[in-house]
Amino acid sequence: MSTLYGLTLPPLNGLDEAAAARVTKGDYQKGLSRHLLDGISGGARVLEFGTQFGLIGALAAAQFALRHVTVASSDPEAIANASALCTANGLFQVETRQIGGNPTDLPALLADLRPSAILLNLGFESGAGLGDCDLGPVDLAVVELAPHRTAPHEIAAIFNALHAANLYYSPAQSKGNQVVFHRNP
């Protein structure tokens, strides 16, 4: 087994060729994890929605000893990868959730978990329905956009929902397809 950001990395199944190459090089979601991890505290509840293999949730749990981390995906292979990653690193506090992949999944998860930090990986899951969510507890949202997989009207709806919840775009922290929003004090 190899290591990635200090975590033991078990063999991962079902990653596309580009993602597998980023994992091998060690630069998979480096900026994304930095934004998310720099913005949370030890008491945070974190949701990684649309995970490929649970890396961000596992990093949050390992670096901050968080008790409330959930990684969710509609892809059974992604959930299996996330479970293997967390087991290999003794991160039994990370919950993995298989979701159905419909627009009501995100509002239901947010209502159930009430996280203070969320990662929305919109290349792998839909953020549709975010406008129907109670985003009151969320202080930090990191949105990973994949424009080739996410419709422009959906991206606009997500940004509008975050803005309506007093979460504002942070240009100094955003880079490329990784867009960071913070609660406006």
pLDDT score for 10: 86
Q: What is the pLDDT along the chain (185 residues), one digit of tens a residue?
A: 677 778 888 888 877 676 666 666 665 555 555 556 666 666 788 899 888 888 888 888 887 777 789 999 988 999 999 999 999 999 988 999 998 877 778 888 899 999 988 888 876 677 777 888 889 999 888 888 776 777 777 788 888 999 999 999 888 888 777 888 988 76
pLDDT at 111: 92
Whether domain 29-183 has CATH 3.40.50.150: yes
pTM attached to this predicted model:
0.86
The total of other beta-carbon atoms located within 10 Å of residue 168's CB is 14
pLDDT, position 100: 84
Residue spans of the domains in the chain: they are 29-183
pLDDT of residue 59: 83
